[in-house]
Chains A and B, each alone.
Chain A
């Protein structure tokens, strides 16, 4: 737990002086609150002895000071701590990205499907609570509690001991116990929630079929049952949480009574000034304000640490692909690429995704790579871009091993366009600039025209600044693929890889797009990966990919 915490703090890159300032402000804010009640109690007790009013001046000034200082310090502290948390979030995001970047895409395959990726990104965001609710509260509580105990110890040692025990129970035992109970309940609830959510997703997706096949009431019964299970867990959890609340209140109350009783006795036996009786009772009562946030903090911290462990999971150091120590010069502008009896296995006990595969790409040649789905066609792309190294066999560019070049130089050789290409939720311009950040608007317009998007672009009111929506959702299937192609053209690489460029398109659109694609590709080397017949007639050579067989 400590090592996770340390690594997270490391990644968050919070400078010690910012943390120290923020914690100090927090401790002062809580401390001023305790001091306000205590000095007010002292003021009244002392005043009851009817001294000359001048004797009270200092105390009155102190009371006024604490009353003003408390809200002001608290305000400044909240700003400082949120600022710190937001800065940390930015660093954690960038750090997380840096760690997983070398793993994409081959080693992130497992994360791409389903909501795993969503969850990881959610975990990163959850880490912003690390300082605010995880780190700061215990330090602040400890500082203020220690100060309160020392203050009491100066006048009554036994009372200080009782307060110390009370604060320890309320500040450590109850939060830890509470966190453990809620963690157990939370885990059960999380499982129940997961089941119910999965059931809901399925139900909502399959609703038309369930209705069509007359299964409404059976489905409702099943959801009701899961819902009832979840509700029962919730009720149990409420019992446990209620018990923790009750214990906290009891401990605070009992400690105050204890301190009060000791003070009464100490005064009676003549070792304590009577002015201190009420003062000590009020100090004991108020000092529990310091630990009141801890049960919630403990819960939060265990949740945040769980997120933290998931975020720390994948690391770029584990990347399967590394740059050579002394890379050779980049490949030529018209390279020849050869794959010789290449075999790829994703795991030692898994069937090979690609076995004894041969492929040669000569400058200007057009090669079609065909085969049924799941036959390892995408694996070939991953090999060429060196997202993945073969388990056996050789890949060479211009006669040199692929792994003797810098990864950067290898990727300059290829431009990838295809069904898997991501369209960013941004403008047309931003999506194109990924291929060539320094490209002028004119060259952007040119590649769009080459991709036969010219007329469409002309009638867009926002032109290149038109937003394309999540995953290019505001474009039609054909427009998406053409935009992806325009981007690949802008990269101006010697070899163009077209990975299923006509997937999800109706046959007429697909045929038109394929013809355009091959016209535009011009003198570039083309590798067309497909399971459909369109465009294959215009290939110089067709290679069949049959996966592991």
Chain B
């Protein structure tokens, strides 16, 4: 049974003090429970011997004080534990964000994955709370409390301590079952449950199709049948999985019964005092209680840990030596100034690129020169390396071979953010952030005033539809807010590029999936954008490529054709 992923353990180190304090509170609470047992037994035994309520008042008051102290420690245990957990979780989330912004795995991330990571980072990380707030402190308790109980019982009545030890061999059996079997089984079970949920979601999503083929009603039986199969399978595993809990419970009840019966018989023979006997009986259930609590938290905790592992794997991927990571290229002393691409040409010299996860080179010893103020259309089949080339220019990744220069200066030796400040990029699917249209355009230049934003929108051909929005430039767009069409989204992204007034513009399929009229509007805006700038435009549509000065065909990582447009 693995208590915790070592990587998580390392993260818990930050909150070590708080988790330690939590465990201390837990131990104090356990000691209070033991005192409560001793006090109840003493009071009952003294009353048994005929003492009156007033004789016992002091003991009763102490008992109430112990109860109040227990309540206080329970409050402290919860608060300190959760605070510690919240600290660890916050840190983990921030690390995920930092790594995503730092390393440009982001460039190849698809949207389904990003939704999954976001859910894991927020909801999933909260599932981890159980691990840090309950499970870890409980593990400490499970180690300390049984020992304290045994010592106390041994002091009061050594024979009972030995009897309680007799039931202990059941514990390793329980641990073995819990660790070896349950962990795997629960995980398999969760996985199959996730599969079943996915199946159901798939069917619900496909409802329109099913109905169109008159198959809608027939699926009810199938859903019922799949659920039934799943139930049978799960019940088979549960029969074994529940055994571990039952064995521990059996150990606990067996311990109580053995202790009760033996001290009962010894009481009859007068070998033990009533007060001692009663104390031992009250202590017996406490021996296994912390361990049972660990078992209860273990399952809840392993769920959170599965999520954590996914996040930690993501963090581990951002290996600083990876060519995809640009952390080591951040601002550093002695960085060279980048020449302006409006005045000097941008050159790819023998550039190759291979993704670390794939064997095949995406770009293969590529030579390409973008002269100053030239518009180059990059065409070719999907997977030919066009987007990778754009990513290299943006500095999301560095070439595995060869170099990228501007006016003869290798951009690897330049300050990265200064280089990016010269680039405007319109990706294939521009992101609209949940903010006003104006602020979305200001991504190009956050210090721009309203009139420059409007001017950029006019140039991008976006001014007209923005004015028609309910709140004009202040209309909030983005996920869950005012929807905009694909063409409008592109024009907002183009307005960003206009506002940035960059020397080098990179456009990735700016008219894909647009209808004729939208494509035409976007095309006109692009033509304005190209004036006086160096432009690299990835294009599918012939009418778009026709707007370029030069057409370069990229296929399987090589340039297969390079033709200048005849004026």
Hey, which bits of chain A sit against chain B, CB under 8 A? Answer: 33, 36-37, 40-41, 43-48, 50-51, 53, 56, 59-60, 63-64, 66-68, 70-72, 74-75, 78-79, 82-83, 86-87, 89-91, 93-94, 97-98, 100-102, 104-105, 108, 112, 114-115, 117-118, 120-122, 124-125, 193, 196-198, 200-216, 218-220, 223-224, 227-228, 231, 234-235, 237-239, 241-243, 245-250, 253-254, 256-257, 260-261, 263-265, 267-268, 274, 277-278, 281-282, 285, 372-374, 385, 387, 408, 411-412, 414-416, 420-426, 434-435, 437, 470, 487, 491, 503-504, 506-507, 531-532
Contacts and interface: CB of A to CB of B under 8 A. Distances in A.
Interface string B127-152: 00100010000000000000000000
Given A63-B260, A67-B254, A235-B82, A245 B74 contact: yes
A144 B200 CA distance: 39
Contact of B207 (A59, A94, A100): A100
A334 to B, nearest CB: 19
A376 B517 CA distance: 17
A219 B205 CA distance: 34
Interface in B279-329: 281-282, 285
A105 B235 contact: no
Contacts of B70: 249-250, 253
A64 B118 CA distance: 53
B540 A507 contact: yes
A373 B231 CA distance: 46
A48 to B, nearest CB: 4
A245 B104 contact: no
17 contacts: A37-B285, A64-B261, A105-B211, A200-B117, A200-B121, A201-B114, A204-B106, A205-B114, A208-B391, A213-B500, A216-B102, A234-B82, A253-B70, A264-B53, A264-B56, A387-B208, A437-B218
B197 A121 contact: yes
Contacts of B423: 212
Given A246-B72, A253-B71, A277-B48, A260 B209 contact: no
A106 to B, nearest CB: 9
Contacts of B163: none
A92 to B, nearest CB: 9
A434 B433 contact: no
Nearest to A59: B264
Contacts of A125: 197
Contacts of A200: 97, 117-118, 121-122
A97 to B, nearest CB: 6
B241 to A, nearest CB: 9
Given A47-B267, A250-B71, A209 B430 contact: yes
B234 A94 contact: no
A411 B212 contact: yes
B253 A47 contact: no
Closest 6 CB pairs of A and B: A90-B227, A253-B67, A206-B431, A67-B257, A242-B78, A422-B206
Q: In the complex, which of the residues B83, B119, B214, B257 has the most CB atoms of chain A within 10 Å of its own CB atom?
A: B257
Contacts of A86: 227, 230-231, 234-235
Contact of A531 (B68, B74, B515): B515
B159 interface: no
A269 to B, nearest CB: 9
Given A208-B104, A220-B97, A213 B444 contact: yes
B213 A235 contact: no
B231 A87 contact: yes
B74 A246 contact: yes
B337 interface: no
A152 B285 CA distance: 22
B235 A82 contact: yes
A261 B67 CA distance: 15
A124 B203 CA distance: 14
Given A44-B264, A274-B47, A202 B478 contact: yes
B76 A44 contact: no
B213 A507 contact: no
Nearest to B63: A257
B212 A234 contact: no
B71 A385 contact: no
Contacts of A267: 47
A90 B56 contact: no
A416 B212 CA distance: 7
A285 B118 contact: no
A487 to B, nearest CB: 8
B256 A68 contact: no
B231 A90 contact: yes
Contact of B83 (A44, A235, A256, A491): A235
A216 B326 CA distance: 13
A209 B431 contact: yes
A263 B86 contact: no
B396 A278 contact: no
B452 interface: no
Interface in B193-208: 197-208
A245 B391 CA distance: 54
A70 B306 CA distance: 33
* Interface secondary structure of B, over-half rule: helix
Contact of B238 (A40, A82, A285): A82
Contacts of A66: 253, 257
A246 B235 contact: no
A37 B90 contact: no
Contacts of B52: 264-265, 268
B54 to A, nearest CB: 9
B67 to A, nearest CB: 3
A372 B515 contact: yes
Nearest to B269: A50
Nearest to B227: A90
A434 B210 CA distance: 7
Q: In the complex, which of the residues B71, B83, B86 has the most CB atoms of chain A within 10 Å of its own CB atom?
A: B71
B250 interface: yes
A122 B540 CA distance: 40
Given A44-B267, A100-B204, A205-B111, 17 more contacts: A41-B281, A43-B264, A44-B278, A78-B242, A82-B235, A82-B238, A87-B231, A89-B231, A94-B224, A200-B117, A201-B115, A207-B101, A265-B52, A277-B48, A278-B278, A372-B518, A424-B206
Nearest to B53: A265
Contacts of B76: 242
B78 A204 contact: no
A63 B224 contact: no
Contacts of A532: 515
Given A197-B122, A204-B118, A208-B107, A373 B434 contact: no
Nearest to B238: A82
A234 to B, nearest CB: 5
B207 A74 contact: no
Contacts of A91: 224, 227
A214 B47 contact: no
A63 B209 CA distance: 63
A197 B123 contact: yes
Nearest to B394: A212
B216 A196 contact: no
B231 A48 contact: no
A416 to B, nearest CB: 4
B378 interface: no
B24 interface: no
Nearest to A112: B205
Contacts of B542: 507
A371 to B, nearest CB: 9
Contacts of A60: 261, 264
A429 B115 CA distance: 30
Contacts of A112: 205
B55 to A, nearest CB: 9
Contacts of B107: 208
Given A201-B114, A213-B443, A220-B101, A104 B207 contact: yes
Nearest to A218: B446
Interface string B239-261: 10011011101100110110011
B149 to A, nearest CB: 16
A216 B425 CA distance: 16
